[in-house]
Amino acid sequence: MKGAFNLGASRVAILAFVFMSGACSVAPVQVEDATLSSAEASIAVNPSGMRVISSAVSEGEKAEAASGVLLRQAYEQYDHDRWQQAVQLAERGLRIDRYNAQWHLLLAKCYTRLGDGNRAQEFASQGLAYAPSGKTSLRKGLQALMMGSKP
């Protein structure tokens, strides 16, 4: 019994020494510098001097990038006369970026090709509300589709 007690006491003494010496302490480390811009997408140096890849990309920028990739995929489907698949991708894109007039333009084009002129006009009308004034080609395309023109 005496040996078991001494072994337990030894463990306690070792743990106390490790704890008191700071061997197990962990200092807080700043992993990412929130002031970095996404354009820098840089490598930051944290307080310990280690280099860390900083992905200072906002949620909005991630959504915009995803929307752009999805828009290219949807137009690829549209260009190959797969309008229903383009509609499915465009509807997903619209859920990501609701106020992007390019999604409304693509949906208006697809619904025109699918023979649903009313729905095409609805999307064209909504797209015009979101289209920036400086994007004249986008606005003209939406206006033409609103008037019932073929894409």
Residue 151 located in a structural domain: no
The total domain count for the chain is 2
Q: Are residues 83 and 17 in the same domain?
A: no
In terms of residue numbers, what domain contains 35?
2-53
Under 8 Å between Cβ of 140 and 128 = no
Q: Which of 146, 80, 71 is nearest to 112 (CA)?
A: 146
pLDDT at 58: 80
Q: Which of 37, 41, 35 is nearest to 53 (CA)?
A: 41
CA–CA gap between residue 34 and residue 125 (Å, rounded): 40
Report residue 44's pLDDT band, with 50, 70 and 90 as the boundaries.
Answer: very low
Q: Are residues 76 and 35 in the same domain?
A: no
Q: Are residues 83 and 140 in the same domain?
A: yes
pTM of this structure: 0.61
State pLDDT tens for residues 88-115. 999 999 998 999 999 999 999 999 999 9
CATH of the domain at 139: 1.25.40.10
CA–CA gap between residue 121 and residue 151 (Å, rounded): 12
Q: Are residues 105 and 71 in the same domain?
A: yes
